[in-house]
Chains A and B, each alone.
Chain A
Amino acid sequence: MRILNRILNEKKGLTFFIVIAILAILLIAITSYNSMLRSERYTMYRIIYGDDALIIAEAGMDLLQRIVENEFALTGYERKNTYFKYEDLIKPKGEFKTVNFDSAKLTDIIANSEPIKALVEIFGGPSIARIKKVEVVIDEKTVKYFADVCGNTSNIAPNYHEKFGIINYSIQVEFYGVTKLLNIAKQIKIVHTLPKVFRFFTLFIKNIPKDTDLNKILVDDSGNPVTGKPLVLNNGDYNSGTSLSPLDVGMVFLGNTPASEPLILKLSHGTKGVGELFQMIESFYKNPDYEKDYKDSKGFQVVNLQYGVSSGMMAKARAYGIQSQQELMSSMLKLYGTPDNPTPTRVLGNVNRSYLRLAAYQNTPNGSTDVGEMPSIPQANFKTSGVRPIMEKGVRNPPEVRPGEWIARLIFPEAMWDLEDQLYKNYALYMNQFISYEYYNFGFRSPIKDKNGFECNPNSIPDYDLKLKPSGTNSYGGSPAKPADEEYRGSDMRTLTLDDKYAVPYASYKFAGDAEFADFKKLFMNGTQPDSLRLGMMVKFASDVKLPKMTIDKGGIIVCEKGNITVSGDIEANPMQNQVLTLIAMDGDIIVDAAKVDAILITMKEGQKFTPRKKLELSGGLATHSMDFDKLLAAGGTINFRPPQTNSSNTPYFYYASIQPDVRNWKVILTNEQK
């Protein structure tokens, strides 16, 4: 008590300070409490601001994806890229690198777009919210190649341009100092819209109906019927003086059913009524009784197997320098005519199930005098036009079997003829290279280049003898091309089809059907010329569509998903533009009710049968699962191959990048960072 009194006595007046101290503690506690509440409020506001930023980011993301997809769609054909280089997407394995889209341009277009500006105004204006940064990237680490993942089609050169990976979109939005980053990853596929092989064919019929007599359908190219009305195939001008490019030649495939049964085919060529009947039967191939059989006739035996081989022909094929002992399932036969009558017809066929004859027939209009059955036809009935196909000028009659050198002379420039002994060998090697160079499968045609970047052009290969070595030291920058007989052994072109999983989703615009054709016109036929089609992309009609008269100023692809495409007016390619239009009926017919159509027509689904309604006048190509030959014989027609459709500069146009719509593949990553 005394001590306390002492303290109190000594600290007299301290009470005030004690009270103040207690109050100060209270003040601190209250301030802390306030601060805590404020902090909590701040945090909650940040959450709200973050959510608001996210809403803007989502809207921006929506717009961004539309812009990028629009860029893919609109530039797929034109390649007028704004935000990336389309060619970068198409680069093959080994060359493909991470594709960074132009972030500055994308940020600018998104941030300053009218919709986003309007949206930002709702949130209080640009002083409160803004798009900070937009990025789109396809990381090469995420990219895989279909050829690696799905496996290669047997004997079809894999296409290492087709790939899939992840396209990553990201948008940063700042809202009241809170920055939100929204990432969306989606799968992207970069694939060929349709097997480009179709573009190399004048006529591709997957399945010739049983008992169809093809000898009735092809006679002369002047349209004179021999039996029924002919379908004349004009496959191009190679070796004619107007074209030196073998790529300017269409091919024909006629798939036989069953494969084991022979298929006999006549084709016409040239302008002088020369017909050809292709045969690859051993007995006729080297008919020892030829002179007896055809004594006094003006006919001739033509054996010109440039590149056609079959299992039954291997002995002879080996004589021509083809060394493979393996049974061939298919081959490519390239035929070249006389200098006066170039025969650019190329027939790609599976010679195990078909054979081809080569002969001439009389250029008369009344049908009974053609020599379609030359090996067995009575001598009296064998008449020819006197024009000899596949012969040199001044050649003896009957013609002799042509060696490979002779063929090589037709192909190689004269300056290269000095290597007499090696000519055919080199030719054969060249053909192997050539097939790689020009392969007519699913592959992307990219020129073979040497290590110096020199393009392997058939007509301009310096030191080609040195370069075309069959060893592993091929100077073209990689392992040598496979020999043709290995390359195509076992490949069955009848397996070729149009996968609707590929063909349909890539349509840039979708229309319900003919009822929306006005919308189509508004978008693609809106020029000063009402008939002018400026498509430049792939569009889809869900049901029947009727195409009016058109002039193709910009080509593209029109797909009808379910229903018929009726061509009711002439479709003509503008000769100044050389554009190619492709019409695809996925599950219906293409009804040609026009006098002239410049387009590639494709009806490849199982069961589809192309039915000519009237005389077919087609410039482009026709690929169909089957053909109504009775209707064809009644109608006849001409199919002219159009070289622009194989033009390598057109090739990238047919590649499309498809962003997969499946939202289940989305991966959303949110990060929240404070400024």
Chain B
Amino acid sequence: MNRNKAFGFTLIEILATIAILGIIAINLLYSLSEQNRGTIDIVNKVIASNYAKDAIDYLKAIEYSNVDSSFNCVEIGGKTSNPKFKDLPPLVDPFERSVEIIEFKDKPLGAGSTQKINYKIIKVGVKFDKRFNSRVTLIGTLMVEKFTQ
């Protein structure tokens, strides 16, 4: 009896070990899951970012006067696309890109400024997570035409 007592595990020991292992396993799995999701998220963000920049670079290469609301659109990866962006890499599912050109004319350069400026803001949003509908990369840039006094 003594021998068994000396070399065995108590029930408490086993239970404690199982409990600790359980806690760790849960944390581990949760952590791995989170990290995995985060990695996927960040990868998607990078891809989304690239999709957005593709559109922005494309539009910025066009003459100022030709960048207008006709470029406004929503493209759904693998389904719909704007023919005006046919030269860009095609969107894949689940990415969705929206483009909006916002034009400002004769706006003051800044508060109290006498200088006026024509400019356009290119606003590009790329969604990539339909389930949450919140994974959106939003990028904007500026095109400046001219100043007037």
State which of B17-25, B78-86, B87-95 sits at the interface with chain A. Answer: B17-25
Interface status of A8 (Cβ within 8 A of chain B): yes
Does A176 have its Cβ within 8 Å of any Cβ on chain B?
no
A114 and B110 in contact, given A44-B46, A55-B139, A70-B147 (Cβ under 8 angstroms) = yes
- Inter-chain contact B38/A122, CB cutoff 8 Å: no
CB-contact partner of A55 in B119, B141, B147, under 8 A: B141
Pick the contact of A122 from B9, B140, B143, B146 — CB < 8 Å? B140
Q: In the assembled complex, how far is the CB of residue A135 from the closest CB belonging to chain B, in whole angstroms?
A: 19
Interface residues of A in 42-85 (CB under 8 A from B): 44-45, 47-48, 51-52, 55, 58-59, 62-63, 66-67, 70, 74
Number of contacts between A and B (CB, 8 Å)? 113
DSSP class of B's interface residues: helix, strand, loop or mixed? mixed
Q: From residue 1 to 39 of chain A, which have CB atoms closer than 8 A to chain B?
A: 8-9, 12, 15-16, 19-20, 23, 26-27, 30, 33-34, 37-38
CB distance from A645 to the nearest CB of B (A): 25
Instruction: Please tell me the size bucket of the interface on A.
Output: 35 or more
CB distance from B51 to the nearest CB of A (A): 13
Q: Check if A74 sits within 8 Å of B149, measured CB to CB.
A: yes
Q: Would you call B24 and A62 a contact (CB within 8 A)?
A: no
A115 touches B46 (CB 8 A): no
Tier of interface size on chain B: 35 or more
Q: Are B111 and A112 in contact (CB under 8 A)?
A: yes
Most buried by A among B20, B113, B140: B140
Interface contact B13-A30, CB-CB below 8 Å: no
Neighbour of B24 across the interface among A12, A23, A51, A116, CB < 8 A: A23
Q: Please measure, in the bound complex, the distance between the C-alpha atom of A70 and the C-alpha atom of B28, giving whole angstroms.
A: 60
Q: Bound complex: CA of A197 vs CA of B110, how far in Å?
A: 41
Contact B111–A23 (Cβ < 8 Å)? no
* Chain B residue at smallest Cβ distance from A38: B35
In Å, the complex CA distance between A52 and B56 comes to 12
Indicate if A315 sits at the interface (CB-CB under 8 A).
no
Closest to A108 in B: B110
In the complex, are the beta carbons of B121 and A119 less than 8 A apart?
yes
CA distance A498 to B24 in the complex (A): 83
Q: How far is the CA of A382 from the CA of B60 in the complex (A)?
A: 76
Give which listed residue, A20, A115, A122, contacts B138 with CB less than 8 A: A122
A416 within 8 A of B: no
CA distance A113 to B121 in the complex (A): 13
| Pair B6/A9 contact, Cβ less than 8 Å | yes
Give me the interface of A with B, judged by CB distance under 8 Å: 8-9, 12, 15-16, 19-20, 23, 26-27, 30, 33-34, 37-38, 40-41, 44-45, 47-48, 51-52, 55, 58-59, 62-63, 66-67, 70, 74, 109, 112-116, 118-119, 122-123, 509, 523
